[in-house]
C-alpha cells in the first residue's frame, strides 16, 4: 500500500496522496518531473476551512473489517491549521502543505471528470488516477465545490481494490 494509506482524510487523507506520487519506484526522474496542477489552491482550501470542519470517512480494506476515520480542523489561522485525526492526535500543517498532498508528477497522473454519490451526497468531481509500482494505482475524487480532501479515494492493485475511503459526512465548521 502507498504511504497515504488512508488523503487528508484531510491531512491524513491528503497526506496520503503524497505517498502515491513517490511510490512509483522512487524514480529520481519522478522526483524532478513537472507536477500536475492540484485541484485546489492553498487559498481555496483556506477559504473553505473553518475551525470545526470535519470529514468522516468509512475505510474499507481488503480482508479487514470496515472502520471509520475522522479528521477535524481544531483551529485555523492565516498560515495553516491544527488537525485532529482518529488514532493520530493533533498535527499542525500549513495550507500549502495541504495543497501539496494532491500534487503528483505529470508522468504518473491522469485526470478526468466524473459525478459520484457517497453517503455525504452527490458530487461533481475532478478525478486523479496516480500510477504506482507493481500495478498499483491510487484514485482520488475531489469534489469541485468542496476544496480540500477527496470525497472518495481508493487504492487498487492489478484491478483489485485494496483500500477504499468514502466520505460519510462533511461538516463545514464555524
173, pLDDT greater than 50: yes
Q: How confident is the model at residue 93 (pLDDT cuts 50, 70, 90)?
A: very high
**pLDDT category, 32, cuts 50, 70, 90?**
confident
Closest residue by Cα to residue 10 from 118, 149, 152: 149
Q: What pLDDT digit, counting tens, does each position of 107-144 carry? A: 999 999 999 999 999 999 999 999 998 889 999 999 99
Q: Which three cell numbers stand for residue 11?
A: 491531512
The CATH number that domain 11-168 falls under is 2.50.20
Tell how far CA 4 is from the center of its chain.
Answer: 8
Distance CA 4, CA 63 (A): 19
* Lowest mean pLDDT across 1-10, 23-32, 97-106, 118-127: 1-10
The sign one gets for the Cα dihedral 94, 37, 56, 121 is positive
CA distance 103 to 73: 21
Distance (Å, rounded) from C-alpha 70 to C-alpha 83? 10
Tell me what percent of the residues of the chain surpass a pLDDT of 90: 76
Per-residue pLDDT band at 13 (split at 50, 70, 90):
very low
Which pLDDT does position 121 carry in this prediction? 97
Q: Once rounded to an integer, what is the mean pLDDT over residues 83-91?
A: 94
Amino acid at each position: 500500500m502507498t504511504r497515504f494509506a488512508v488523503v487528508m482524510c484531510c491531512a491524513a487523507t491528503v497526506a496520503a496522496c503524497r505517498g502515491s506520487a513517490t511510490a512509483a519506484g522512487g524514480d529520481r526522474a519522478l522526483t524532478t518531473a513537472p507536477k500536475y496542477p492540484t485541484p485546489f489552491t492553498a487559498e481555496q482550501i483556506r477559504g473553505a476551512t473553518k475551525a470545526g470542519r470535519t470529514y468522516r470517512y468509512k475505510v474499507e480494506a481488503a480482508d479487514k473489517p470496515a472502520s471509520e476515520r475522522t479528521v477535524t480542523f481544531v483551529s485555523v489561522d492565516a498560515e495553516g491549521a491544527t488537525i485532529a485525526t482518529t488514532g493520530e492526535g493533533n498535527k499542525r500543517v500549513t495550507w500549502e502543505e495541504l495543497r501539496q498532498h494532491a500534487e503528483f508528477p505529470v508522468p504518473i497522473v491522469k485526470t478526468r471528470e466524473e459525478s459520484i454519490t457517497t453517503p455525504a451526497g452527490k458530487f461533481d468531481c475532478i478525478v486523479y488516477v496516480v500510477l504506482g509500482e507493481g500495478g498499483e494505482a491510487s484514485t482520488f475524487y475531489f469534489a469541485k465545490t468542496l476544496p480540500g480532501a477527496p470525497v472518495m479515494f481508493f487504492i487498487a492493485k492489478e484491478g483489485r481494490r485494496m483500500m477504499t475511503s468514502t466520505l460519510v459526512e462533511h461538516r463545514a465548521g464555524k
